[in-house]
Structure 1
Amino acid sequence: MKTQRTILSPSEFAWFQLGEKSLYDWQIECLEAIGLQGEGLAESLSVCSTGKSATARTGLPVAIAAANGSGKTAKVVAAAILWFLSRFPRGQVVVTSGSFRQVEKQLWPALRVHQKKFPAWTFLQTELKTPEGGFALGFSTDDPGRAEGWHPKIGSETDPVMIIVDEAKTVPDGVFEAFDRCTRVFQLWVSSPGKPWGQFYEAFHSLKKFFWTRKVRSDECPHIDPAKRARDLEKYGPDHPLYRSMHEAEFTEDAERLVLAPDRLAKALEGQPQPEEDGEVVAFLDFAAGRDENVLAVRRGNTVRIIKAWVEKDTMQAAREFVRLLKTEGIQPGQAWGDADGLGTVMIDAIAELGFYLNRFHGGQAASDPDEYANLIGEVWHVGATEIERGRINLGVLDPVTFKQISTRKSEWSENGKLRVESKDKMRAEGRHSPDRGDAVLGCIACGSRMSGAIRANSIHVPEANRDSFSNGLVTGW
């Protein structure tokens, strides 16, 4: 028995063939967005449910961030798979998740609910087969190699590939990159919101123009008890990351541990003060080698700008460029601070040989406020972030890289209960880049003459009249 090929759109298919007569508006929107990716593929199906001739693919890949318990797997992912194989019986569906339990215990049972409607199909534990050779295969992997090599064997009109990443927040970036090398026509990423970085997060931010996106709040899902929403709101408050993730579909997981969460940074940028460049001038140099960036940031008054960020493997070439930039910007030696940890010592020495002497900043040294902070770099990040959030710093139009670096570094507690920031090595291990631009921006905010050699959260904002003139030499306490 062959598959009865459908000409219905995905939501029509779910309604009429699967009997899903209680689809919510957002579920219909998402299913239709999935179907739009395939318009114009098969000549025999070129007249879609709207009655219009489809001659070219019009839809974007779909990314859905939905509140917990919204029904995204059972009502959207399962329906999309069954529709796809009914429309393209030789098609290939590849489904992965960060958890095999999600595939085995959530998605495949949702597919088997409709098993009797497809008597010619074979439903296995995590596989589905059609008589024509089409299939849906579910697996969980953190190995990008298993995510490669999915391509049509005949042609996109006959056996197109659909790739689905369920609970996408838990899937490593390498798996997404491997899927990018596949020849797929249909793509669906779906998950509850999670950490504010990674490929799923970027689909709603820096890569948003490449996706059709939908955030689904809990109040768009009538089956979710409003009393639970009210209880969680009373328990956690509207700004708590758990409430915002569960009910508002916002990427705020672990936000209570971020030095400056993305939503708070975005809000600060919307309300930043008018630029006032009269006043103190402070430069901060962050050094790197290889793929990390050398960065020069300068603060003039309340205005902070990144002058240049670039990759340079040759230490002396980088040193010469720093000196050139500092002189071009009119920076005096006493106004410039350089990260002296690691490679920084070599760079500062090289810059000194060129006749420009920097104040040495050692982030691992004791904080000037040791009662609160475990080390100096932790103090600089938290104090600098506070200055931004309180509307005292004008950052202008912040580029996406700098925005991401400032808003993805976490706070940590040391063994003795003092606040610090996570190490760069830990960030790299989690797939996040070294926050070189963030260090430079926050460094030039927190360093300078107004601290009189010390940083204190309650004294970093000093009236203009009380700021002392700073010319050159080392400031103590670093």
Structure 2
Amino acid sequence: MRADVKAQRAELELLDNICRFRSDPAGYIKFIMPWGEGELADNHGPRKWQEEILDAVRDHLRNDETHFQPLLISVASGKGIGKSALVGMISQWGMSTQTDCKIVLTANTEPQLRTKTWPEVNKWFNLALNNHWWNLEAESISIKDPNRKRLWRMDRIPWSENRPEAFAGLHNMGKRIIVIFDEASAIPDKIWEVTDGALTDEKTEILWFAFGNPTRNTGRFRECFKRLKLRWKNFQIDSRTVEGTNKEQIAREVEDYGGEEEDHVKIWVRGLFPSQSSKQFIPSALVTAARKYKALEYDKMPKILSVDVARFGDDQTVIGSRQGRKAKVLAKYHGLDTVQVAERVIEFIIQEEPRAVVVDGDGLGAGVVDQLKSRGYKCFEFHGAEKPMKPETYFNRRAEIWGLMRDWLKEGAEIPDLQELEDDLVGPEYLSSNKGAILLEKKADMKRRGLASPDLGDMLAMTFAVQIAIADKDRRPQQGAMQSELSWLRA
């Protein structure tokens, strides 16, 4: 028999075998890889946790009720467990067992994608028995058939919040789509949202995987395990339970960092989200407690009305109040001009009868202040960049009022049971100036991380920009001076 005929028969046999594993990724990986040989000499198959996830895919695809429903899998883990290897296995199976499969891979940073995740993916394509099927390039892997390479491919795409549309074209009707997020904790929420909205094709196998060390306790990856836990199939992997990890080294690390409950150990060993992100200004535990707290005798305290005025199209104007140990969100608006905002504020002044009104005077807020003053309502115009009362502790006034709000929460306070408010309060991070003063993260920087402007949080924080004496509580701000009633927060 001629060599080319033998080669054709061998190729047909390989193709036939591969087709048997269309809905069995674990079986496919065991078949297609040279386990026990060469680079895999010390390995005899996927690790237990990897196989568990591959089997979850199998069960989903073999169930007629779920086959064409999106499968969302999130994996939070300690370090060194073989996440990138599983990314390579999933990619190799996905591309090999479905004609015209499309895969998109992204990571928290372009260097992570280029130097770590992508080389690992290429490794598994090279190891496979069908490695001759593929063009392995710097930014893509595609079938060698020139007529199909645009349809049957995997692309690595660095995320960009300024170009989220790169993730919006994830359509492959009647075929298979796989989206993989590596180091998902740091991928902005906007990219998640665009991806979520794009995965809508009917009669299509849709698989979305999010892998990462749980470095942040805010953001969409955290929400996969919390608010969105019913949508996502969640796995949390402790490095100590995984074959091939150095258990003695991990034990020393746990001891060095102070034990099981320390955030470093939670993140890098146990695969658990931290109690507080390393740079997070207000701990999540404080906010969670405040959503359940019930304030007493707050009605005997002076009430402060606060207005955070929207600056950009996706921001919102928020009006709220704080009275003693209780805070309220009174209203949220989009698209109002300064005259309309001022009119709403006046309505709440009449309704709530506050002792003080604080308005964000930066940007469009200055127009609201002018409108209120022109109608005889005096208010305190707040500017976050102004010098703080305690410059040795805070870089500017905005950081200072957030610090005062944090202290208020620590002492026990009642806030509305709103997820949006919690997200705002726990979202901002902080850093220190060259003199050691606390500087709160700018709104623009939060947006670059994929977080919304903390409008509700800023509204509540501004209620701490003034301090009111409890005496003379019947005096009101409308049509009268507030200056004699109030003093700036004491140093």
Corresponding residue to 1:437 among 427, 450, 456: 456
User: Does structure 1 conserve the Cα–Cα contact (< 8 Å) formed by 2:125 and 2:131?
Assistant: no
State the TM-score, normalized to the length of structure 2: 0.77
Partner residue in 2 for 1:395 = 415
SS in 1 for 2:452: coil
1:91 aligns with 2:112: no
Corresponding residue to 1:308 among 331, 353, 367: 331
- Deviation track 1:298-320 (CA, whole Å, cap 9, x = no partner) reads 22331112111211332111111
SS in 1 for 2:105: strand
1:77 aligns with 2:98: no
Distance 2:450 2:64 in 1: 44
1:378 aligns with 2:395: no
Corresponding residue to 2:116 among 102, 124, 146: 102
- Deviation track 1:165-204 (CA, whole Å, cap 9, x = no partner) reads 2333454555545544354622222222244455434434
Instruction: Report the aligned-residue RMSD.
Output: 3.3
Distance 1:308 1:58 in 2: 38
Partner residue in 1 for 2:133 = 121
SS in 2 for 1:193: coil
Corresponding residue to 1:32 among 36, 55, 65: 55
Identity across the alignment (%): 20
User: Does structure 2 conserve the Cα–Cα contact (< 8 Å) formed by 1:103 and 1:139?
Assistant: no
1:167 aligns with 2:190: no
Q: Which amino acid aligns with 1:137?
A: M
Distance 1:21 1:220 in 2: 18
Aligned residue runs from structure 1 range 247-262, under 5 A: 247-252=269-274, 255-262=277-284
Corresponding residue to 1:242 among 264, 275, 284: 264
Partner residue in 1 for 2:5 = none
Aligned residue runs from structure 1 range 137-216, under 5 A: 137-142=154-159, 143-152=163-172, 155-156=173-174, 159-173=175-189, 175-179=191-195, 180-181=197-198, 183=201, 185-216=206-237
Distance 2:233 2:362 in 1: 44
User: Does structure 2 conserve the Cα–Cα contact (< 8 Å) formed by 1:262 and 1:408?
Assistant: no
Unaligned stretches of 5+ residues in structure 2: 1-10, 36-42, 477-481
Distance 2:445 2:48 in 1: 42
Partner residue in 2 for 1:457 = none
SS in 2 for 1:336: strand
TM-superposed CA distance for 1:439, in Å, is 1.1
Partner residue in 1 for 2:429 = 410
User: Does structure 2 conserve the Cα–Cα contact (< 8 Å) formed by 1:194 and 1:253?
Assistant: no
SS in 2 for 1:109: helix
User: Does structure 1 conserve the Cα–Cα contact (< 8 Å) formed by 2:187 and 2:450?
Assistant: no
Partner residue in 2 for 1:45 = none
User: Does structure 2 conserve the Cα–Cα contact (< 8 Å) formed by 1:304 and 1:394?
Assistant: yes
Distance 2:440 2:24 in 1: 50
TM-superposed CA distance for 1:242, in Å, is 3.3
Distance 1:201 1:338 in 2: 33
User: Does structure 2 conserve the Cα–Cα contact (< 8 Å) formed by 1:282 and 1:448?
Assistant: no
Partner residue in 1 for 2:318 = 295
TM-superposed CA distance for 1:296, in Å, is 1.6
Q: Which amino acid aligns with 2:436?
A: G
Q: Which amino acid aligns with 1:306?
A: V
Partner residue in 1 for 2:361 = 340
Judged with a 3 Å threshold, the aligned counterparts in structure 2 of structure 1 residues 355 and 204 are, in CA distance, closer, same or farther, namely farther
TM-superposed CA distance for 1:409, in Å, is 0.7
Judged with a 3 Å threshold, the aligned counterparts in structure 2 of structure 1 residues 315 and 274 are, in CA distance, closer, same or farther, namely closer
User: Does structure 2 conserve the Cα–Cα contact (< 8 Å) formed by 1:340 and 1:362?
Assistant: yes
Q: Which amino acid aligns with 1:234?
A: E
Distance 1:198 1:392 in 2: 25
User: Does structure 2 conserve the Cα–Cα contact (< 8 Å) formed by 1:411 and 1:422?
Assistant: yes
Q: Which amino acid aligns with 2:433?
A: S
Judged with a 3 Å threshold, the aligned counterparts in structure 2 of structure 1 residues 263 and 81 are, in CA distance, closer, same or farther, namely farther
TM-superposed CA distance for 1:381, in Å, is 0.5
Q: Which amino acid aligns with 2:270?
A: E
Distance 1:230 1:446 in 2: 47
User: Does structure 1 conserve the Cα–Cα contact (< 8 Å) formed by 2:443 and 2:454?
Assistant: yes
Partner residue in 2 for 1:420 = 439
Judged with a 3 Å threshold, the aligned counterparts in structure 2 of structure 1 residues 263 and 65 are, in CA distance, closer, same or farther, namely farther
State the TM-score, normalized to the length of structure 1: 0.79
Partner residue in 2 for 1:282 = 304
Corresponding residue to 2:245 among 212, 217, 224: 224
Q: Which amino acid aligns with 1:68?
A: K
SS in 2 for 1:257: coil
Distance 2:157 2:114 in 1: 5
Alignment size in residue pairs: 438
Distance 1:55 1:416 in 2: 57
TM-superposed CA distance for 1:426, in Å, is 3.0
SS in 2 for 1:210: coil
